[in-house]
Chains A and B, each alone.
Chain A
Amino acid sequence: MLSTAVFSSFSMRQPMEVAINYGLSVVQILATILTLFLGLNLISRELESKAGHPVLAQPISRGSYIIGKFMGLLMIVLVILIISGACAALGIWLTTLTLDTPGHVSWAGFIIALYGTFISCTVLGGLTVLFTSLSTSAILPFLLTCGVYAIGQSTQAAKRFIEAELAGVELTPLVKMIAKGAYYIFPNFALFDFKVQAIYDLPESATLLGIATVYGLTYLALTLFGAVILFEKRDLS
């Protein structure tokens, strides 16, 4: 909270914008890391220590077990986001106290940006569940999730780079095809990023917000669907 005011104090013309930027970015980084590690430990550790076996012995389907575990993860992520979001908001508010003319803070934009982070963490959580259902080892799901997250964060930038056809950069048709394929197959995490609108108080597009929500939830449903199928076929003995 205090670091927000310190970080933004180095800005020449836009300390308020830097404070919002810093707050939202820290929340995003924190929520992403926690989703990743909590999601990976969620099933793999329980199955490794056989602590989940009594639950699975109950008359519930494996699919319900996976969905239930995921819902639990979602709740934890939501609580983390609410707490860290409140801390970030407090940091921004503290920054307004340090400035003579603090300027306008778009709290609606701030909440929308947090919502975008939540959708992003939801999709990431779905991916961790999918990969932990796939593999018995702990390291492989971690690497796969990190890889997909990194690709998902960069597909939009890569697609724009290819479409821009910058002078002096020759790309083979195969590379272009791979990049375009990756854009449609991997989750586009840039779609859930509403930070810039919150930072500079830019108008929010309700259509984009709606599309991002539908896209995120559909991707999540597909990953959970895959996770359930894989987990049902998995040999737990």
Chain B
Amino acid sequence: MKRVLLGIFLLGIFVAASYTYPRVQVLHEPTLRLNRLPPSWILEIMSMGNRELLSTIIFYHTSFYYGEKTAWRKEEAELRRVYDTLEKATDLDPYNMDCYYLAQGTLSWIKPAIPKLNELLERGYTYRTWDWYLPFFLAANYYFQLDDPVRAAYYLQDASRLRPESSVFSSLTARMFYEGDQTETAIAFLKSMVLDTKSPLLRKKLLKRLRALETIRFLEKALQDYHDKTGHDPDSLDDLVRAGIIRSVPPDPYGGTFYLAEKDRICTTSKLAEGWRKDQP
């Protein structure tokens, strides 16, 4: 009987302690720290043949740390450390997509960090040659943060080749080439995509964009002819008609109207966007 009572007594204390300690622990729990890691080659030796597992563990630690810190003010030193740990994790396992994903998610909004981030992503892309995410991330970084539409277009071109079922990628690639004054490249790219595409719906979309870009190219050449003929630039596209270089300003397949923007650039009110309506502001 005494043993039973002693057992119940010990069990009671254990249950009480198990119920109480998590509440007390929260008050004294140290904040998660992201320690500086040793060089990658030392980490590789420390992994004892389990580089990929160590890479995943480092990634988990970094993502938990970042997750806890989301409510905080992110300081540059901290973000630098996040980058360093992710770089080391990818040194151990250059195929680890989680690391590239987290790096893009945490650092792509900080302009000074973009060159280093792109370096990491470009290295990852040399390994993950089948993955459209990495060229897509690179294209986004070059386009939105570094104002380099041509470089962005080349990466997006890769992404659209890796994911041919997506009409958005091929369409955006052509648009970026056009924005980077690479209309010829955009046309060549679209022509190759039209040939490779099996989906009738996608082909229809690509042909529409191709028609629009060929019209732009036609107007660009007419501008050049006008300049050669008169020695100065036209004020509007109607000047090309008045000079007899073109019969009329061709229509935009997207429903907009072509016009001459600054720096002799051919633009359209539709912005080559699908679903644009004339009554839109």
Contacts and interface: CB of A to CB of B under 8 A. Distances in A.
A189 B51 CA distance: 13
Interface stretch (A11-19, A53-61, A79-87): A11-19
Contacts of A200: 95
B56 interface: yes
B53 interface: yes
Interface stretch (A44-52, A149-157, A204-212, A217-225): A149-157
A196 B92 CA distance: 11
A195 B95 CA distance: 12
B41 A158 contact: yes
B276 interface: no
Interface residues of A, number: 29
Interface residues of B, number: 20
A18 B54 CA distance: 11
A145 interface: no
A158 B56 contact: no
Interface string B81-95: 000000000000101
Nearest to B127: A200
Contact of B52 (A13, A25, A29, A149): A25
Given A22-B53, A195-B52, A10 B45 contact: no
Contacts of A28: 49-50
B13 interface: no
Interface of A is mostly: helix
Given A160-B41, A161-B41, A199 B95 contact: yes
Contacts of A149: 48
Contacts of B50: 25, 28-29, 195
Given A10-B60, A12-B63, A13-B101, A154 B53 contact: no
Contact of B56 (A18, A120, A160, A202): A18
A17 B56 CA distance: 10
Contacts of A120: 49
Contacts of B97: 13-14, 17
Contacts of A12: 63, 98, 101-102
A84 to B, nearest CB: 15
B44 interface: yes
A17 B45 CA distance: 22
Contacts of B41: 157-158, 160-161
A21 interface: yes
Interface in A141-176: 149-150, 153-154, 157-158, 160-161
Given A21-B53, A196-B51, A196-B95, 11 more contacts: A12-B101, A12-B102, A13-B97, A13-B101, A14-B98, A25-B50, A29-B50, A154-B45, A158-B45, A196-B52, A200-B95
Interface of A: 10-14, 17-18, 21-22, 25, 28-29, 120, 149-150, 153-154, 157-158, 160-161, 189-190, 193, 195-196, 199-200, 202
